[in-house]
Structures are given as C-alpha cells and as structure tokens.
C-alpha cells in the first residue's frame, strides 16, 4: 500500500473527529452562548447539511482540477473551518465554522477514494479505500472521546484547535506524499476542457448500477443510525446502563467499525456482491435482534459492537462499486456516495424519531433500521440481476457489455500512480 494513504487516513481521522465530537460538547455551547439544546444541536445538523450540499458542488467545481490540488484545498478549508470554530466570539460564528469545515468532508472522502483506488492495482482497490476510511473509524474510538474529554475538562475551544492541528498534519501529508498525477486517467488529460469533464461526470450518474449503489448506501448504512441516534436512551432506559457508561459503549461500537472496515476492505475486491449480501443481510438481522438484546447489558454490548462491524464492513464495497461502475468519470459519483451516507443517517434518525413520537419504546427505532437494511438488500439483489444480464457501464454508450468490476476500470484508465505493474 502506498505511503500516501497515510496522509488520506490522517485527514479522514480529523474529519471524523470534528463531525461527531460536537455531540458531547452541546452543554458547553449552551453555557457559553446562552442558547437552547435544540439551537446548539444545529452545529451537528448544519454540518450534515453542509456535507450533503458541499460534496456534489465541490466535485463539480473541481472537475477540471488535478485531484491532489482539490484534496489540498479541502484540507485548507477544513483547517480554516475548525480554527474559526475555536475562536468563535458568537454562536453564529461557531455555526459558520462548522459549515465551512463540513464542505470539505464529502469532497475529501469522495476524491480521496478515487485517488486511493488509482494508486494501487485493480485487485487492491477496496483495500486501499478501506485503509483511508480507517482514519474515520479510529476517530470514533479515539478522536471523538478525546476531543469530548478535552472539551468537558478543559475548554471546547481547545478541542477545535487540536482538530485544526490534525488538519495541518494531513495537509502536509497530502502535499508531501500524494503524487501529483494521483487520481488522473487517460480520460482526464491536463488540457481537456471543463465542459467535457463535467459532461462525463454527469453521464456517469445515469448508469443504473451507480444509482442502485447510491440507494444501497442511503438505506444500508443509514439503517445503522436509526439505532445509534437513540443509543443513549436505549442503553440507559432499556439495558440499565448508567449515563457515564454510554461513552465506552460507543467506543465498543467504534471498535466494531474498525474491524468491519478492515474485513470489508480485505474481501470486497474478491466478491463484492457476496460481501454486500452478507453484511447488509446480517445488519438487518442484528438491528431486528437489538430490539430484544437491548434489554440485557451483556447482550446489548455485544450486539452494538456487531452492528458497528457489519455496518462498516459494507462501506468499502459500496464505495468501490460506485467507482467501478462510474467508468472514467467517478469523482462526482464518489462524492455523492459520501453525501448519501449522511443523507441516510439523517433519514434514519428522522424515521426513528417518528416512531418514538408515537410513544413507542426507544428500541423500536431498531426496526426502522432493520427495514432500511432489508430495502438495501433488495436493491443489491436488483443490482446482481442487472449485472448477470450484462448491463452496459457508464461511458460505454450502451454499446459494450458490462465487464467484471475488477477488470473494467483497467481498460479505461492509465496505469495508477505507484501501482505494481
């Protein structure tokens, strides 16, 4: 694996930390700025909306630019956003800093996935993507708890300053380690016009397999957040844990994500559709089971860890599937898939909230997640049927039958930078 993946993983660590750290800092925001809990929560929802909107917009604006330059710009934006949050004199400025940093999220992961995949041989792409996403999973185990602890014991501004420091390290890594031609293909020469590039990116979105993959992302991983959004209430109200136990329970969930991500990256290159069937199907079963096991301490902890593992094991194959079927113009589709993760999270939390608003027990939100995962499994089945029928790939114009996801990109791309020949 190229050492440049380390720079991408550090950036992913910083982004993952800043995304979720605010959930433990809302009381500090309320006390300093005199706002309500719901208003303070806008620092989380505003970030999520920034990811969904920023991912496709920046991907389109940066369609002509070299991927390394876009990654560099995203890290600069990330550092500026977190630095602005750290010195915010008013809540509106803090919120603005959150939105600025969120704009880097989708594009960094989307373009970073393309760069990671093209720096290695075709048979190692999912593993490379998984190594980049390891930074995000480790953030949930170490970065988020540490940032929360610093914010609660010292000052929340120090948390954001430290996160900005992580961004500076990632920025230096991108500048020093990522090859200048990383992520480029023969279909994307330096001299090509902006219109041609954008046209190819938009055309890739019309491919049925790309649309199915985006749907699987929204419904599959989104189902995890139907449980995680209300995990504190479930663990304290149903399992009998103390509020102070929720932190280490979330660390268990994060540990499951780390393991699942690495396992998913290892096997997604070999049998991606089979892996998706196992992970999404297993996730649907685990979420349904969680409505029962959430009433027992030990069973709840085990189930929560497995949900993290099965949920994130689906991420590398989902991201790789979008890249494989977007042909020679995967940047916009890849960025949209990152936005789809956040859209699914918001959808799951909203649907779970509707269920709880009826007076149902918090564990019933798990059934919402299970239903979403089953719907994603149905989309995976439809994708497999289309694949067997030989649906054309993006960029084929309907004239060339689908090739194997492991071989088609190699036919349209120049040899990846740093890849074994």
| Geometric angle at alpha carbon 8, from 2 and 14, rounded to 5° | 150
230 and 342 part of one domain: yes
Of 184, 219, 251, at which residue does a domain stop? Answer: 184
Q: CA–CA separation, 248 vs 255, rounded Å?
A: 10
How far, CA to CA in Å, does 308 sit from each of 26, 213, 223, 254?
Answer: 24, 20, 11, 7
Q: Find out whether 177 and 10 touch, Cβ atoms under 8 Å.
A: no
* H or E stretch covering 372: helix 365-388
pLDDT of residue 197: 63
The tally of CA atoms less than 13 A away on the side-chain side of residue 38 is: 0
368 and 342 co-located in one domain: yes
What angle is formed at CA 187 by the lines to CA 185 and CA 189, rounded to 5 degrees?
75
Q: Which residue has the tokens 């564990």?
A: 363
CATH number for position 136: 1.20.1250.20
Record the pTM. Answer: 0.74
pLDDT at residue 198, rounded to an integer? 66
Based on the structure, what is the number of domains in the chain? 2
Q: Do 255 and 341 lie in a common domain?
A: yes
| 259 domain residue, yes or no | yes
pLDDT at residue 157 in the model:
95
Q: Under a CB-based contact definition with an 8 Å cutoff, are residues 127 and 264 in contact?
A: no
Q: Which domain holds residue 251?
A: 193-391+402-410
Pair 337, 211: CB distance under 8 Å: no
Residues 134 and 219 occupy one common structural domain: no
In the prediction, which pLDDT does 278 show? 92
**416, part of any domain:** no
> Residue 36 burial by CB count (10 A; 0-12/13-18/19+): exposed, middle or buried?
exposed
Among the three residues 184, 207, 228, which one is the final residue of a domain in this structure? 184
| Nearest CA among 262, 271, 292 for reference residue 387 | 271
pLDDT tens-place values along the chain, 421 residues long:
788 899 999 999 999 999 888 877 878 888 899 988 678 878 887 888 888 888 888 878 877 788 899 999 999 999 999 999 999 999 999 999 999 999 888 889 888 888 888 888 877 888 888 888 888 888 888 888 888 888 888 899 999 999 999 999 999 999 999 888 765 554 444 434 444 466 777 776 778 888 898 899 899 888 888 887 777 778 888 888 887 787 788 888 889 988 998 888 888 777 788 888 999 999 999 999 999 999 999 999 999 999 999 998 988 888 888 877 776 667 777 778 888 887 887 788 788 888 887 888 888 889 999 999 999 999 999 988 887 876 554 444 443 333 333 333 433 334 344 443 3
């Amino acid at each position: 694996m190229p050492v440049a993946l380390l720079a991408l993983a550090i950036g992913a660590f910083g982004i993952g930390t800043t995304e979720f750290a605010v959930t433990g800092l809302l009381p500090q925001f309320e006390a300093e700025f005199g706002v309500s809990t719901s208003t303070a929560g806008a620092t989380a929802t505003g970030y999520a909306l920034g990811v969904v909107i920023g991912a496709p917009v920046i991907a389109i604006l940066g369609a002509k630019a070299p991927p390394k330059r876009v990654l560099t710009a995203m890290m600069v934006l990330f550092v500026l956003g977190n630095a602005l949050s750290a010195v915010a004199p008013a809540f509106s400025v803090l919120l603005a800093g959150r939105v600025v940093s969120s704009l880097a999220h989708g594009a960094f992961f989307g373009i970073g996935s393309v760069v990671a995949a093209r720096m290695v041989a075709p048979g190692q792409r999912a593993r490379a993507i998984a190594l980049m996403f390891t930074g995000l999973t480790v953030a949930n185990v170490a970065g988020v708890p540490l940032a929360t602890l610093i914010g609660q014991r010292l000052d929340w501004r120090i948390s954001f300053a430290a996160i900005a420091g992580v961004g500076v390290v990632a920025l230096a890594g991108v500048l020093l380690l990522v090859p200048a031609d990383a992520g480029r293909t023969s279909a994307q020469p330096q001299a090509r016009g902006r219109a041609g590039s954008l046209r190819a990116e938009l055309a890739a979105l019309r491919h049925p397999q790309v649309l199915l993959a985006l749907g699987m992302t929204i419904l599959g991983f989104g189902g995890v957040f139907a449980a995680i959004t209300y995990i504190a209430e479930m663990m304290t109200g149903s399992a009998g844990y103390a509020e102070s136990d929720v932190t280490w329970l979330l660390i268990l969930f994060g540990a499951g994500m780390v393991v699942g991500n690495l396992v998913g990256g290892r096997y997604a290159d070999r049998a991606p559709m089979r892996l998706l069937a196992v992970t999404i199907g297993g996730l649907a079963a685990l979420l349904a089971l969680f409505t029962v096991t959430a009433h027992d301490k030990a069973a709840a902890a085990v189930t929560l860890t497995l949900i993290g593992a099965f949920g994130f094991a689906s991420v590398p194959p989902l991201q790789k599937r979008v890249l494989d079927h977007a042909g020679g113009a995967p940047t916009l589709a890849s960025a949209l898939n990152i936005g789809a993760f956040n859209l699914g999270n918001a959808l799951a939390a909203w649907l779970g909230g509707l269920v709880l608003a009826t007076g149902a027990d918090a564990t019933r939100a798990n059934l919402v997640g299970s239903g979403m995962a089953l719907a994603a499994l149905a989309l995976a089945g439809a994708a497999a049927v289309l694949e067997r029928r030989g649906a054309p790939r993006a960029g084929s114009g309907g004239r060339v039958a689908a090739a194997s996801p492991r071989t088609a990109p190699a036919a349209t791309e120049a040899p990846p930078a740093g890849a074994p020949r």
